[in-house]
């Protein structure tokens, strides 16, 4: 029989072991260190109330809370975020400095992605989840994930045809 004390020990161990990795995901979502910490703590405190059910495999559940909480924070001010539908065209660069400039462009473009699209990108290409796992984490259909991913890559000026679902088969 699992007791409250067992739950607490497991939970504290999980926070100690995995919270820094989850903080990186939270940062990629929020692009703000303070908001990332806030988001992580919110997700962990929510997870505690379901700990008796998830303790054998908590990370996917906590990650799901993280992204769904992030997606639902509509009323918050997001420093530096300026969502736009279409990114401005930029000139091709062939010199050595171009890569650095591109990197900044990509970082800026990521920061400008709408929230759900950014979540899809982070889960697919940072967490390396399959389309099905991403859909599960976001609580939506795989079709929604694919369409969000398509739009996100278009915003990032990446050919959506490059995307292969390495875990869940063809996208």
Partner 1 sequence: MTDLDDLRAQLQRDAASVTGAPDPARLGQVQRRIRAIRRRRHGAMAVAVAAVVAAVAVGVPVLVGRGTGDVADRVPEHVTVLGFDYTIAQAAGGVRGGAGVTVELPPGDLQRVALVSAAHLPDGSQVTLFDQYDRVVGRLVGGGAELPPVPIDAVPGTLRVAANDVTDDTVLRLTVYERTDVLPEGITNGTAVYRQQVGGATLVEGGFLPDGASSVSFQVEGPLESLAFSFDCARGADTGVVGSMAIDGDTVVSGRCGPRSIAEDAGTSWTRPGNDADRLDARIHTVTIFTSDRVFSEESVPFDGVEMGVGIYRAGPAVLVSGAHVDQIIEANGRLWKLEEAPGRRVRLAVTETDEPRLIGIVAGGGDPLASVGLARNGRTGGTPGIQSATGWSLTRIVWPGQSPTLTLVDERGRPADGSVLVYRPLADG
Which residues of this protein are in contact with partner 1, per CB under 8 A? Answer: 1-5, 7-8, 12, 15-16, 19-20, 23-25, 27-28, 31, 33, 36-37, 40-42, 44-46, 48-53, 102-103, 106-107, 110, 121-122, 125-126, 156-159, 162-163
40/135 with CB nearer partner 1 = 40
Q: ∠ at Cα 157 (72, 71), nearest 5°?
A: 5
- Is 61 in a helix, a strand, or coil? helix
Residue with tokens 């915003």: 155
75/162 with CB nearer partner 1 = 162
- Is 129 in a helix, a strand, or coil? coil
87/132 with CB nearer partner 1 = 87
Q: How far is CA 38 from CA 42, 65, 76, 106, 142, in A?
A: 6, 13, 12, 25, 29
Tell the smallest beta-carbon distance from residue 157 to partner 1 (Å): 5
Tell the smallest beta-carbon distance from residue 6 to partner 1 (Å): 9
- Is 2 in a helix, a strand, or coil? coil
Tell the smallest beta-carbon distance from residue 85 to partner 1 (Å): 19
Instruction: Give me the phi and psi of 46, to 5 degrees please.
Output: -65, -40
27/132 with CB nearer partner 1 = 27
Q: Are 43 and 66 in contact (CB under 8 A)?
A: yes
Tell the smallest beta-carbon distance from residue 22 to partner 1 (Å): 10
């Amino acid at each position: 029989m699992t007791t409250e004390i067992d739950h607490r020990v497991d939970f504290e161990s999980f926070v100690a072991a995995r919270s820094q990795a989850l903080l990186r995901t939270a940062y990629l979502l929020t692009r703000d260190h303070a908001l990332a910490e806030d988001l992580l703590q919110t997700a962990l405190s929510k997870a505690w109330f379901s700990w008796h059910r998830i303790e054998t495999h908590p990370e996917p559940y906590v990650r799901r809370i993280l992204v769904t909480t992030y997606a639902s924070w509509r009323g918050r001010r997001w420093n530096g975020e300026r969502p736009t539908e279409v990114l401005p065209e930029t000139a091709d660069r062939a010199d050595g400095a171009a890569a650095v400039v591109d990197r900044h462009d990509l970082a800026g473009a990521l920061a400008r992605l709408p929230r759900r699209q950014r979540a899809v990108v982070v889960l697919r290409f940072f967490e390396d989840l399959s389309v099905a796992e991403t859909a599960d984490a976001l609580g939506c259909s795989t079709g929604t994930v694919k369409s969000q991913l398509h739009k996100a890559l278009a915003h990032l000026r990446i050919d959506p045809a490059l995307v292969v679902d390495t875990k869940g088969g063809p996208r």
